[in-house]
Amino acid sequence: MLDCLRQTTMATTIARLQLLQLQPHPKLFKPCLFSPSVHSKFPNRHAASRSCKFFAFASLSSNGDQIHESSSHNESSGSIVGDLLSYLNESWTQFHATAEAKRQLLSAGFQLLNENEEWELMPGGRYFFTRNMSSLVAFSIGEKYCNGNGFHVIAAHTDSPCLKLKPISSSSKPGYLMLNVETYGGGLWHTWFDRDLSLAGRVIVRSDDGSFAQRLVKIKRPLLRVPTLAIHLNRTVNQDGFKPNLETQLVPLLSTRCEEELPESKEKGLTRSSKAWHHPKLLEILSEELDCSIDDIVALELNVCDTHLAVWEA
C-alpha cells in the first residue's frame, strides 16, 4: 500500500513538473515579434490533433524580473534597413552615392565647407566637404573638444566593382551596336550576363556661356544586355563551367544597327571628339536625359549598372 502511495505521489510530482515546463512564464516568454502567433496542429498520443502556439524567447537581463522589450529595436532596425535600401537605389555610381550622402547631411543640419576657403569651426558644429563629386568627408566637433584631445575616424569607399565605358566606347559587329567596356575592381563578372543593364555616371556639358558643367545622369530603364551563348554553341559549359573571355564576350549590346544614323555621324572631316568616340545613338539618349544638345556633350564617365532595385526579402 505504501509503495503504491509513493508511486502515485511521484507520478503526480512528475506530472506537475512537466506541466510547469510546458506552460511558459509570462515574464520569460514573449510571442514572436516578427510575425503573429502561429497556430499549428501536431499529433498527440491522447487526441487526434491539438492546437499549439509558438513562442520566442525574449532577452533576459541580469535581473530576472526585468525583461528587455525588443519591439522598438525591431522597428528602428526596419527603418534603418529601409533607409539603406533607399540609399543603395539612389547610389548607382560613386558620384550618385556622394550626391545622396550630401543631400542627407544637409537635411540633418551639417554645414557644407569649401576647401578653397578658410574654415571657422566651432565646438558642437557638424561639417562636411566633397571632392571630385566622388568622395566626401564629414565630421562633428564635440562641445567640450580641446586641441590635442584626438579624434575617431571611420572610412568607407563609394565605388564598387563594375563595368566602365572605355574612352572610345563605339564598337559594332554586323547587325549590332555594342559598347566597349573595361572591368573595374574584382567583380563576379559572370553575374553580369543576361541582366537588364543601363548606364549612369557623370557627363561634362558645355553651357550657354561657354563654360563647362558636370552633370549626373542615371538612365533607369533597361538599355544594355550582355547575352550568353545558346547551349548548342557551347556544349561543354555545364561540364567545364562558365569561363567568359572578358575582352571578347563581356561586351554589352546597345541595339541592332540603325539604317539611318544621326546627321552628325555622317559629317565629313569629323574631329576626334565625343561624337566620334561614341555611338550617335548613345549620345542621343544622353542628350534626352540631360536635356541638352549632342554638340554640348564634351566628355563621359559612365558605369554599366543593374536596373533591378535593392529589396528586402524576408
**Per-residue pLDDT of the chain in tens (314 residues, 90 and over written 9):** 444 444 444 444 444 444 444 444 443 333 333 333 333 333 343 333 333 333 232 332 333 333 233 333 334 445 888 899 999 999 999 999 999 999 999 999 999 999 999 999 999 999 999 999 999 999 999 998 888 888 899 999 999 999 999 999 999 888 899 999 999 999 999 999 999 999 999 999 999 898 999 999 999 999 999 999 888 988 888 998 898 889 989 999 998 875 545 444 444 444 445 567 999 999 999 999 999 999 999 999 999 999 999 988 76
Whether residue 233 sits in one domain with residue 186: yes
**Of 129, 159, 189, which residue constitutes the final position of a domain?**
159
| Angle value at C-alpha 135, between 133 and 141, nearest 5 degrees | 120
Instruction: Select from 55, 63, 62, 51 the least CA-distant residue to 26.
Output: 55
Other beta carbons within 10 Å of 188: 7
| Angle value at C-alpha 63, between 58 and 64, nearest 5 degrees | 55
**Of 141, 159, 177, which residue constitutes the final position of a domain?**
159
State how far the Cα of 8 lies from the Cα of 155, in Å rounded to an integer. Answer: 69
Looking at residue 274, its pLDDT comes to: 58
Instruction: Select from 187, 184, 170, 174 the least CA-distant residue to 252.
Output: 170
Residue 135 is part of which domain span? Answer: 94-159
> What's the number of domains the chain is made of?
2
Whether residue 148 sits in one domain with residue 173: no
**CATH code: domain of residue 176:** 2.30.250.10
Instruction: Select from 128, 97, 99 the least CA-distant residue to 111.
Output: 128
Whether residue 228 sits in one domain with residue 99: no
**Residue 73, in any domain of the structure:** no
Looking at residue 314, its pLDDT comes to: 66
Whether residue 290 sits in one domain with residue 195: yes
Do 187 and 202 touch, CB atoms closer than 8 A?
no
Whether residue 195 sits in one domain with residue 221: yes
Whether residue 295 sits in one domain with residue 208: yes
**Residue 129, in any domain of the structure:** yes
Place of cell 571628339: 273
Whether residue 195 sits in one domain with residue 233: yes
**Residue 50, in any domain of the structure:** no
pTM above 0.85, yes or no: no
Looking at residue 28, its pLDDT comes to: 35
Whether residue 295 sits in one domain with residue 196: yes
